[in-house]
Structure 1
């Protein structure tokens, strides 16, 4: 039960007309693939030197979030399905957020032995994002450092058969642009939302950016035959809250959208509450307002942490340090990333800390897990 002041804070946020926040949970840093623009194993904390949150922790966080009218949680990694307790995590999130909650996951779709889409759906999963960058096994392995796109496609088919909403994430690279177009064409016959994601000049992708970057504008021009006369699909229908437009070419079962944080680098309507594997909440990764949640879990004070998160999101579009805007909603998965320094706009909670200068080049990835 929220206090009167906390209910007033929720009402104030709702009055802004912004999308209500959702939980963006990075469940682990581990991945059994090695995408060229991600390279997870380069991180010094790969595998986690600290204890990650447990399934019980996620259930408690979700129960508090549900009291604040949060009705969506999205799980990513790393590869979240590598967690042995992934079904318990999904179940705890679904129970905590309550009936009608939206529970999603981003995965490369090559599920480990013994885990099925049906088990995930029975635990409470309602939608699945599958990372798929080529349908050709050899070229896919070159991009992703392993895996099999045929297994990913089987995962997509299984999810659709179970009634899950499915999105397909495909990072655009000039060398593999025809592969991306072939992935996008899955939406011709399947009721999926394919998201074409611009390469970003961050992390390992910096080594690729000058030669491999291709903009949304150029891709749209090359796909003009598809988009002429295409109808726009409302984001509410897709369960998507990102600002990109989703178009359904005439006669297609699915849609195509873009995530373009290189050519359109602003996210003033971003609404993710990011939580790292060891429980650090970030209402805005460009601000020095990290909130370690483990002390609040131990002390039963998660309500205080969520109050701070909501105040942070209320204020961030009028933050003078960023000229009144909130730029580039990068997703930092890792717990030991150096954090940009900035004078806090709000009083800090006692447990707030962290913050050094510029993040290192390795470890930031393009967004789009939601």
Structure 2
């Protein structure tokens, strides 16, 4: 693949990382992500798998090196493995350095080996509790044993598993050390995420469940020696090593720490909207230029114009007892 001039935003950040939502559908209904009775998008609005392939291939031609597939739940999209097979060709040429996905784990028993065979090296599994009843409560439709089996299948296939846990006061704060200890035993990486002001959860509910990661970190520091790690995986997490166990723990803090200065990411929705920042409503419609011409010149022109509008950062803030910068769309719309 011949590379065109790379994508550089107005703050001299090269855009190397694309997160792609391949579906808005999910087999869970996590309370902080979507409503229980969601109205999903009509099929004609979704990019086809062929269009997703063409779109991602265009971004790779413009210098994107890391592709993260998200949803909804990406593995519930019919025929999704044909898309992964298509993206694997870019791994084979070296144009794409990493192909990975974020999943709720429900379909990993079925797909882990196929993903590993195609060159996927690691998966992020969203898991907020190790308690069966609480898991059923927060996911509404999910069942923890199914996810635990999926995680085991991923490990057996040789995939590196990272657990993503949303920090929720009054829900999983009592499980902090249980989750950390379980990840240490199972050799999973672990990242805690602050709940974000998106979707239709009430303001009171979000403020009530908001658990600042600075507080969580203090609790960890009371039991473990924490060493800050300089590494940056291209995502927003900042990492520490727990010296007593040797494990790595990440913190994603959109509300209490501005991680925007090194942001090299953009997000593509399953309808072809490109969001230059998760915390801003500004987006670009890439579906129209994609469908307007079999040639990619217009599409690449619109992509470049969008990147030229990428902001320096966002402004989520809970400190004023109201959620400033709140997003009206559901988390499932942009893929987390």
TM-score (norm: length of structure 1):
0.76
Q: What is the rounded CA distance, in whole Å, between the counterparts of 1:360 and 1:13 in structure 2? A: 26
1:74 to 42, 56, 68: 68
State the secondary structure of the residue aligned to 1:230.
strand
C-alpha displacement at 1:109, in angstroms? 0.6
> 1:24–1:105: structure 2 CA closer, same or farther, 3 Å change rule?
same
Shift of 1:41: 4.7
Distance in 1, Cα, partners of 2:28 & 2:167: 18
- TM-score with structure 2 length normalisation? 0.82
Distance in 1 separating the partners of 2:43 and 2:149: 34
Give the counterpart of 2:313 among 318, 326, 331: 326
Q: For the structure 1 residues 13 and 39, does the alpha-carbon distance in structure 2 shift closer, same or farther, using more than 3 Å as the test? A: closer
Q: Could you tell me which residue of structure 2 aligns to residue 246 of structure 1?
A: 239
Unaligned runs of 5+ in 1: 318-324, 330-357
Paired residue for 1:267, among 260, 263, 266?
260
Contact map agreement 1:55 1:92 (CA 8 A) in 2: no
- 2:35, 2:200 within 8 Å by CA — same for their partners in 1? no
> Counterparts of 1:131-142 in structure 2 under 5 Å?
131-142=126-137
Taking a change above 3 Å as real, the CA distance of residues 294 and 40 of structure 1, as seen in their structure-2 partners, is farther
Q: 1:50-89 counterparts in 2 under 5 A? A: 50-89=44-83
Displacement, 1:180?
4.2
Residue correspondence of structure 1 range 274-353 to structure 2 within 5 A: 274-284=267-277, 286=280, 288-310=282-304, 312-313=306-307, 316-317=310-311, 325-327=312-314
Aligned CA-pair RMSD: 3.2
Q: Distance in 2 between matches of 1:96 and 1:66?
A: 8
Query: What is aligned with 2:322?
Result: none
Deviation at residue 366 of structure 1 after TM alignment: 11
1:111 paired to 2:107 = yes
Paired residue for 1:38, among 8, 33, 46?
A: 33
Question: Which residue does the alignment assign to 1:228?
Answer: 225
Cα distance in 1 for partners of 2:122, 2:296 equals 27
* Count of residues in correspondence between the two structures: 323
**Alignment-derived partner of residue 363 in structure 1:** 330
5+ residue gaps in structure 2?
317-324
User: How far is the alpha carbon of 1:28 from its aligned partner?
Assistant: 0.9
Q: Deviations over 1:221-273 (max 9, x none)?
A: 111134424352623xxxx3224321121143531111111222552332223
Distance in 1 between residues matched to 2:335 and 2:50, nearest whole Å: 26
Distance between the aligned counterparts of 1:37 and 1:186, measured in 2? 24
Q: CA deviation at 1:142?
A: 1.0
1: CA distance between counterparts of 2:297 and 2:265? Answer: 17
Contact 1:281/1:292 (8 A) holds in 2: yes
Change in CA separation of 1:112 and 1:87 when aligned onto 2, cut-off 3 Å? same
Q: Summarize the Cα distance change of 1:291–1:367 in structure 2 as closer, same or farther, 3 Å threshold.
A: closer
Measured against aligned partners, the alpha-carbon deviations of 1:156-188 in whole angstroms (never above 9, x if no partner) come to 232233332322111111112123442233332
Q: How far, CA to CA, are the matches of 2:125 and 2:100 in structure 1? A: 11
CA distance in 2, matches of 1:366, 1:291: 14
Aligned match of 1:203: 199
Structure 2 CA distance, aligned partners of 1:312 and 1:128?
29
